């Protein structure tokens, strides 16, 4: 199906406003995408999906429905208008989508800004990259005009986008055009001029960042969706984001190395005085953008981050389980119990995780998916040897209260949980209505 036909189909479904079954003929044959009706979806807070690929610009790329594949390298300064509504299980009335955006084969250092089509490109970055790198970041993006999100690239690169869930119309989540809340650099700027030019954050320091009442965030927001970027670090280290007023937890939100610019999507509870705290283990500059927030009674339960898995021999978790598992072998799938641990409810249908890869023996990727479902054509974290990298993942909980983590190459895994969606008002995408492409011949990106 062509991209123009996809867009036209979305417009027709929005006009009808009823449940629709869309049949698409693509690279993998017949793909059926069931679109929930507006009335059914609007009663839900969040709808999680088995991950589905929506964009792959590489010549050998493939997507869930054959659209937006193989379009070629995105030139510097280009904006890609990507249809997300009505594809991969996303409803036609979706107001925001949870995406994993991956950059690969970049021709130089740069960044991607994801924003709603129809709005001006904001002062914000969603993914930062260097020449030749493959790097991914979790992004909660407002859906803009014609059911599209726009992806601006500052430097020529390939783009790959997977979707893991969406917020329907009337959901208890407010998506925002990204707004900058913190930039510690001398040349930095923010949406309101506050929290700029604070200087390098020193090793062991905690920055208390006011988030409520800024950048469109309501004063009574209970949790916020942030993109946290470390830049110009003096050494290897990590950032822990947590609600101010709570003890700093055993968790990491972002990992970085000397001289790198590394972002990560973070969903965090708002703490005392409307602030979130950012601890840095090694001196670095910090940049923080906000993309949305949850009001009270939203159906999302934010948690102080808790560690659920650490495969290293020195690892520790909140309850002592899933530690010292050893390095995860190439091609292996680790079944991780998340329900009933770290504050997650036993009936939680979906969780917000931070998945970290370290000590990888080669280049590869991790795919996080609900246990009991086939492994999908999607990547959640991309890694290279010798680099510790993390990514935020919103994942559906599968059979036995578990999520599954597939690794394409040997690596250690660390998983922290930051929240979950409650069973009340929650919907899951119909896993039996989407033909998941075979993973046998996926390109090396994942």
Residue 40 above 70 pLDDT? no
Q: Name every residue whose Cβ is closer than 8 Å to that of residue 397 and which is 6 or more positions away in sequence.
A: 338, 339, 348, 349, 350, 351, 370, 403
pLDDT digit string, tens, across residues 320-344: 999 999 999 999 999 999 999 999 9
* pLDDT of 428 higher than 60: no
Tokens (6 digits) for 36:
């929930």
Helix (H) or strand (E) holding 322: none
Out of 30-39, 84-93, 382-391, 425-434, pick the least confident.
30-39
Main-chain dihedrals φ then ψ at residue 137, nearest 5 degrees: -150, 140
Please, which residues bridge with residue 48 across strands?
Answer: 165, 428
User: Do residues 395 and 350 touch, judged by C-beta distance below 8 A?
Assistant: yes
pTM of the model: 0.83
Task: Quote the CA–CA distance of 273 and 251 in Å, as a whole number.
Answer: 22
- CA-CA distance, 16 to 32, in Å (whole number)? 19
pLDDT digits (tens, 9 = 90+) for 209-238: 999 999 999 999 999 999 999 999 999 999
Rounded CA separation 301/324 (Å) = 29
Q: How far is it, in rounded angstroms, from Cα 409 to Cα 331?
A: 7
pLDDT at residue 37 tops 50: no
Q: CB atoms < 10 A from the CB of 424, how many? A: 10
Q: What is the pLDDT of residues 345-356, one digit of tens each?
A: 999 999 999 999
For the segment 100-120, the average pLDDT, to the nearest whole number, is: 96
> Which pLDDT score is estimated for 170?
81
pLDDT at 445 (0 to 100): 52
Q: Is 296 helix (H, G, I), strand (E, B) or coil?
A: coil
**CB atoms near residue 247 (< 10 Å):** 7
Domains and CATH numbers, the chain: 3-172 (no CATH), 174-297 (2.60.120), 305-427 (2.60.120)
**Residues 182-217 pLDDT 10s:** 999 999 999 999 999 999 999 999 999 999 999 999
Query: 320, 193 in Cβ contact below 8 A?
Result: no
User: Is there a contact between 113 and 151 (Cβ–Cβ < 8 Å)?
Assistant: yes
The residue count for the chain? 446
- Quick one: pLDDT at residue 172? 85
Q: Give residues with Cβ within 8 angstroms of 228, minimum separation 6.
A: 239, 241, 253, 254, 263, 264, 266, 278, 286, 287, 288
Condensed to tens digits (0 to 9), the pLDDT of residues 67-87 reads: 999 999 999 999 999 999 999
Task: Give pLDDT, residue 231.
Answer: 96
CB 20 within 8 A of CB 13: yes
Question: Residue 132 to residues 105, 107, 305, 443: CA-CA distances in angstroms?
Answer: 5, 6, 33, 16
The answer to whether residue 39 scores a pLDDT higher than 90 is: no
Average pLDDT over residues 37-56: 71
Largest CA-CA distance found in the chain, in angstroms, rounded: 57
Burial 256-266 (b: 16+ CB within 10 A, else e): bbeebbbbbbb
In which band, very low, low, confident or very high, does the pLDDT at 44 lie, cut at 50, 70 and 90?
low
pLDDT band at 17 (very low <50, low <70, confident <90, very high): very low
Distance between CA atoms of residues 293 and 341, nearest Å: 24
pLDDT tens string 304-314: 999 999 999 99
The tokens of 393 are what?
């993942």
Instruction: Tell me the pLDDT of the chain averaged across its residues.
Output: 87
Q: How many Cβ atoms from other residues are within 10 Å of residue 189's Cβ?
A: 12
The contacts of residue 439 (CB under 8 Å, 6+ apart) are 375, 376, 377
Spatial CB neighbours of 193, under 8 Å, sequence gap ≥ 6:
none
**Phi, psi for residue 4 in degrees, rounded to 5:** -65, -40
3-state helix, strand, coil in the chain (%, to 5): 5, 45, 50
pLDDT beyond 60 at 375:
yes
Looking at the chain, the whole-number percentage of residues with pLDDT higher than 70 is 85
Cβ-based neighbour number of residue 23 at 10 Å: 10
pLDDT at 250 over 70: yes
> Which pLDDT does position 71 carry in this prediction?
96
């Amino acid at each position: 199906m062509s991209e123009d036909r996809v867009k036209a189909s979305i417009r027709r479904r929005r006009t009808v406003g009823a449940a629709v079954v869309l049949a698409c003929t693509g690279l993998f044959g017949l793909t059926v995408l069931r679109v929930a009706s507006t009335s059914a979806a609007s009663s839900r807070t969040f709808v999680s999906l088995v991950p589905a690929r929506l964009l792959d610009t590489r010549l050998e790329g493939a997507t869930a429905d054959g659209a937006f594949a193989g379009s070629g390298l995105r030139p510097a300064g280009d904006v890609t208008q990507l249809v997300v509504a009505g594809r991969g299980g996303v409803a036609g009335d979706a107001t925001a989508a949870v995406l994993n955006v991956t950059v690969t084969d970049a021709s130089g250092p740069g960044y991607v800004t994801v924003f709603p089509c129809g709005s001006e490109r904001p002062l914000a970055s969603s993914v930062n990259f260097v020449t030749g790198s493959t790097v991914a970041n979790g992004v909660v993006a407002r859906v803009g005009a014609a059911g599209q999100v726009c992806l601006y690239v500052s430097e020529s690169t390939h783009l790959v986008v997977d979707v893991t869930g969406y917020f329907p119309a009337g959901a208890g989540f407010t998506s925002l055009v990204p707004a900058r809340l913190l930039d510690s650099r001398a040349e930095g700027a923010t949406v309101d001029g506050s929290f700029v030019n604070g200087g390098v954050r020193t090793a062991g320091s905690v920055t208390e960042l006011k988030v409520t009442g800024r950048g469109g965030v309501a004063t009574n927001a209970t949790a916020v969706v942030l993109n946290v970027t470390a830049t110009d670090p003096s050494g290897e280290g990590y950032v822990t984001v947590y609600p101010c007023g709570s003890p700093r937890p055993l968790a990491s939100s972002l990992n970085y190395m000397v001289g790198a610019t590394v972002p990560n999507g973070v969903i965090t509870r708002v703490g005392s005085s409307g602030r979130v705290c950012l601890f840095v283990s090694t001196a670095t500059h910090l940049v923080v953008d906000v993309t949305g927030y949850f009001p009270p009674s939203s159906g999302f339960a934010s948690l102080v981050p808790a560690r659920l898995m650490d495969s290293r021999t020195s690892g520790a978790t909140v309850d002592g389980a899933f530690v010292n598992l050893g390095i995860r072998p190439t091609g292996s799938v680790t079944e991780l119990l998340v329900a009933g641990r770290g504050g997650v409810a036993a009936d939680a249908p979906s969780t917000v995780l931070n998945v970290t890869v370290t000590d990888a023996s080669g280049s590869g990727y991790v795919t996080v998916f609900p246990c009991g479902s086939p492994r999908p054509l999607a990547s959640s974290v991309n890694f290279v040897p010798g680099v510790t990298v993390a990514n935020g993942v919103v994942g559906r909980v599968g059979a036995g209260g578990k999520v599954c983590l597939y690794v394409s190459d040997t690596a250690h895994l660390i998983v922290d949980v930051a929240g979950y969606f409650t069973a009340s008002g929650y919907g899951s995408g119909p896993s039996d209505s989407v033909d998941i492409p075979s993973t046998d011949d996926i390109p090396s990106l994942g």
